[in-house]
Amino acid sequence: MEPFLRERFGNASEPHWAGREARAGLTDARRRAAGALGCRARDIVFTGGGSEADNIAVLGRCGAAQGRVVSSPIEHPAVGRALAALAERGLEVVLAPVDAEGVLDLEALADLVRPGDRACFVIWANNVTGVVQPVSAIAELCAERGVPLHLDAVQAVAGVDVDLAALPGEVTIAVAAHKLGGPKGAGLLAGPGIGSLCPCLHGGGQERGLRPGTEDVAGAAACATVVERAQTAEAHRSLLRELRDQYESTLGERVEGVRFASAGAERLPGHSLTLLDGLRGDTLVALLDREGFAVAAGSACSSGASDPSHVLQAMGVDRERALGALRISLGDLSEPAHVPALVDAVERAVVPLRAAAAAL
């Protein structure tokens, strides 16, 4: 990022020397991001993050609030709430169910997606459970029926191989740099479906008119860099998977009343959602914070809420068990020694928390 915050500081839309230097950096970032994700450079639109990319996709397909779309009950709020707002204005939103593991029911989806639908919206890897959806089959289904597909890939890029060239049809994905070790406030929207999106923001026409405004070249450069790194980090993914499995097996042996959500499905390698009976996950999070562990109770985007995660509700998890959710995410800063230390801390906290809950 540093060259574009210092000597190459120009406005990439300007024709003078400073603008040309910045524009060259933006062009390079677009090329590198496209190469890492398997699409054309012209099909990369840099945004202010994953939520903005999701909203541009939703509004770019359905901004007129007319017609019908298919989605799921486990979407990130950037998609789910955007669709709900459009539903209030007349858009028909149909939700395909998920099974008890949180995997989309493909047979139900096949019954629901129809030729003429405005779009289908699916989260590639869930931010709460870490479940990875069968996107190849979903893309084939949508392409056969001529329905554009948008995938929230904010979590997925860190944990699965993304090759947009292998997905048929008008596909777009949303990506956030901060989920990959990059800066907050940087992301992108990518895919061959970019060309058929209608602008929902208006201004100077930058980023194919879909995200107007002076480009954040430093953010784009950073986003491309972390996307490239994430898509070539198979050894790191293997390490995270080993640490995650060690955490779950050890905690399951030492603490009673523990279940791991979606353990039977394909999940992101460093993601675990623990369901602990007889306590509140948000209280456990506070105790673990005192010991230096940054964990969450369900979804980080709604961590201030007292209601169970909408994802767990859609999976049929009962309210009391869902309230005992503890989410951990392993990443670049995680070390093998952190796993037994976390298990120890959870074990120490569970006994008094369950005793206090039982006394109420």
Percent of the chain residues past pLDDT 70, beyond the cut: 98
Residue 198 annotated in active site: no
Give the strand order in the sheet containing 68-71: 44-47, 187-190, 171-176, 149-152, 119-123, 68-71, 92-95
Compute the distance between CA of residue 234 and CA of residue 185 in angstroms, rounded to an integer.
Answer: 26
Segment 29-81, tens digit of pLDDT:
999 999 999 999 999 999 999 999 999 999 999 999 999 999 999 999 999 99
Compute and round to an integer the Cα radius of gyration of the chain: 21
Average pLDDT, integer, range 290-297: 95
Q: 57 with 197: CB under 8 angstroms?
A: yes
For the segment 203-231, the average pLDDT, to the nearest whole number, is 97
Q: Classify each residue of 329-339 as buried b or exposed e, where b means 16 or more C-beta atoms within 10 Å of its C-beta.
A: bbeeebeeebb
The single-letter DSSP state of residue 202 is -
Q: Position of tokens 């006394």? A: 359
Cα atoms in the Cβ-side hemisphere of radius 13 Å centred on 327: 24
Structural domains in the chain?
2-230 (3.40.640.10), 234-359 (3.90.1150.10)
Of 62, 200, 223, 301, catalytic: 301
